[in-house]
Structure 1
């Protein structure tokens, strides 16, 4: 059987999207990893499966290249918002393992309400209680991160120069530290101005990517909590820029582009469970 897919990206963070709302597609970690492989599969940063939802317009399942399933992906949320916006009059409610989110087409791109951030140590989660505003931990030159959950766990380090950090080496060390029982996304950020951040992200299960929407949200919120920036910021990633807004006491809105690259189909029998 041939399974149709759509290849999409947000700021270069790319996805294979399968619409399984009418015909179910069984997915295992092995199958997700095989399809995400850039040499022997289709190739992507995340493999996305859309399923029926009793709570929203659609349920979005998100798999990393290592086959692990995660709760949230901001860039993929914008891609799904773009994909389904026409049938939902530009507005899509999306169920994820990290919670319900909403995507809306705007003149500036796709705006996604990512919900409220969580800061309690057991909501990140961390292995034991500690101050999440400045964790009393360090890994070489990276010290005292802010921990925040925006549907998935993030550790945010503020540094003078994001490009001076060997994130390819330190990222997996921090990601897999036992203090993070569900692993963690590692963000290194620099404050460029009162409404401007630069960011690089090591994503758990994916490695270095050109953009990470939840990372941009987590980093903006962390900078706002530390009063380094105002409540609306541009976050520059290697693949481009996102706008993050977090009004006091409200939810996070992420706005940015999403693009369809191409459509295709694969032979279901070539990627067994």
Structure 2
């Protein structure tokens, strides 16, 4: 493979390698994707994204996990790709794009600050010891006294493969309640198979789970701030009889760009 240009973006510590694939020239095997994401033998990232054309929206998001497998929705990846599309001049202040879970709207709220509309959550389970819901990706939520005291990799890996999740797995989030509308989170991500510094769909799931289990059920607009190890994010939504109009807000910025020279034999 000849040298091809890439861009590196990070969103609250989630880092991504992005390729502009609007002309459809790039495709990668699972082995090559894993190599690109490897932090010693490749560029290093939590995942890679291809920005592609879409007939009905501003662009299409194609995302792969660090293990090379196609991914479910990545909230921070979506915000990073919006920042990249804005850099390319594909839109001015707001856009729409297609992802694996459907249509998303997004806005540039300020320098390196992106708001992303999320899909309605599904598969909600509120149990005594944990919560589960799908916010574009499946998330197991455990509320803990001190999130920084948790061995995220060891405990997360146990839950990720345990019943009822099995081989397909779930992302695992350990959530500490700092206040009525403030959380702290640590996340183990499937596909990366490690702790990541933030997870957008996990932050969204934690905010919703907290509101449903602990929050005041006042009708109207709500904002919950979530402190991840990689930065501060926020989830905003409207509540009447149910939660709707969910948005994920937070930083997303370019780190560097370069040339990728392909898989070394």
TM-score normalised to structure 1 length? 0.87
- Kindly state the Cα deviation for residue 271 of structure 1 after the two structures are TM-superposed: 6.0
Q: 1:224 to 1:27 in 2, by over 3 A?
A: same
Q: 1:93 aligns with which of 77, 93, 96?
A: 96
- Which of 169, 181, 184 is the matching residue for 1:183? 169
CA distance in 2, matches of 1:205, 1:235: 23
1:23 CA drift (Å): 3.3
Asked if residue 102 in structure 1 is aligned to residue 105 in structure 2, the reply is yes
Residue of structure 1 in register with 2:47 after alignment: 46
Corresponding position of 2:151: 166
2:255 alignment counterpart = 261
Q: Which residue of 2 aligns with 1:226?
A: 213
Question: For 1:11 and 1:149, how far apart are their aligned partners in 2?
Answer: 21
In the TM superposition, what whole-angstrom CA distance separates every residue of 1:203-228 from its partner, at most 9, and x where no partner exists? Answer: 11211011111110010011011133
In terms of fraction of residues, the more strand-rich structure is 2
The CA distance in 2 between the partners of 1:147 and 1:76, in whole Å, is: 22
Runs of 4+ deviating beyond 6 Å = none
User: Shift of residue 174 of structure 1?
Assistant: 1.1
CA separation of 1:26 and 1:175: change in aligned 2, threshold 3 A = same
Give the Cα–Cα distance (whole angstroms) in 2 for the partners of residues 188 and 11 of structure 1: 17
Q: Is 1:133 matched with 2:126?
A: yes
SS at the partner of 1:106? Answer: strand
Q: What is residue 190 of structure 2 aligned with on the other side?
A: 204
CA distance in 2, matches of 1:54, 1:233: 35
Q: Distance in 1 between matches of 2:58 and 2:215?
A: 37
2:131 maps to 1:146: yes
Report the CA distance between 1:150 and its aligned residue: 0.8
Q: Which residue of structure 1 lines up, in the alignment, with residue 16 of structure 2? A: 15
Superposed CA RMSD: 1.8
Give a deviation string over 1:130-172, Cα, whole Å, max 9, x none. xx111x6xxxxxxx21111111100000111111222110111
Deviates more, 1:23-32 or 1:75-84: 23-32
- Tell me, which stretches of 5 or more residues in structure 2 are unaligned? none
Match of 1:70 in 2: 71
Q: Could you tell me the TM-score, scaled by structure 2's length?
A: 0.89
Secondary structure of the residue aligned to 2:244 is: coil
Alignment check: 8 A CA contact 1:223 1:229 kept = no
Structure 2 counterpart of 1:246: 237
- How far has the Cα of 1:229 moved from its partner? 6.0
Structure 2: distance between partners of 1:107 and 1:69: 31
Residue by residue over 1:85-104, the C-alpha shift from the partner in whole angstroms, topping out at 9 and shown as x without a partner, is 23211222121112221221
Tell me the CA shift for residue 69 of structure 1.
1.4
Contact 1:99/1:151 (CA < 8 Å) preserved in 2? no
